């Protein structure tokens, strides 16, 4: 345990977050997501939900303010304007950070390009979000 660090941020996850550079992305995905098939670096944390993980990661990771949508979610198949409960919660957690959405296969492509994937035990549908890392200014 470390002071001031959310206990959901394991050593492996903190290592990945620290190793990321500006513009690198990390995906937080639900239990149904095909994570192993879509990444080189996988951190599996089945004991938490995606919202708690997003909150923990955003407590230490700056989001990219050079792009319009540093957070990206997956659109509902057949209803791209729908806002699933998990996505509504992500929006509240993200606050002022811009959030966009893409269709399912584009989301899969983006996760394959991500630095790492964190797979949670979240069983809510569409509990998936990609966060692009920003910079810490002096």
Catalytic amino acids? 22, 64, 108
Beta strands in the chain (DSSP E): 25-29, 42-45, 71-74, 99-102, 116-120, 129-132
DSSP-assigned letters across all residues of 9-30: S-HHHHHHHHH--TT-EEEEE-
Report d(CA 76, CA 63) in Å as an integer. 24
End-to-end CA, the chain:
27
Tally of CB atoms within 10 A around 30:
21
């Amino acid at each position: 345990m470390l002071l001031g660090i959310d206990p959901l941020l394991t050593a492996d996850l903190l290592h990945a977050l620290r190793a990321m550079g500006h513009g690198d992305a990390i995906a937080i995905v639900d239990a149904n997501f095909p994570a192993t098939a879509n990444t080189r670096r996988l951190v599996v944390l089945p004991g938490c939900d995606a919202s708690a993980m997003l909150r923990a990661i955003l407590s230490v990771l700056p989001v990219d303010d050079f792009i319009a949508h540093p957070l990206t979610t997956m659109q509902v198949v057949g209803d791209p304007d729908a806002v699933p409960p998990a996505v509504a919660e992500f929006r509240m957690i993200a606050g002022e950070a811009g959030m966009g959405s893409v269709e399912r296969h584009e989301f899969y492509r983006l996760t394959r390009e991500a630095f790492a994937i964190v797979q949670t035990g979240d069983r809510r549908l569409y509990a998936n979000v990609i966060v692009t890392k920003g910079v810490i200014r002096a």
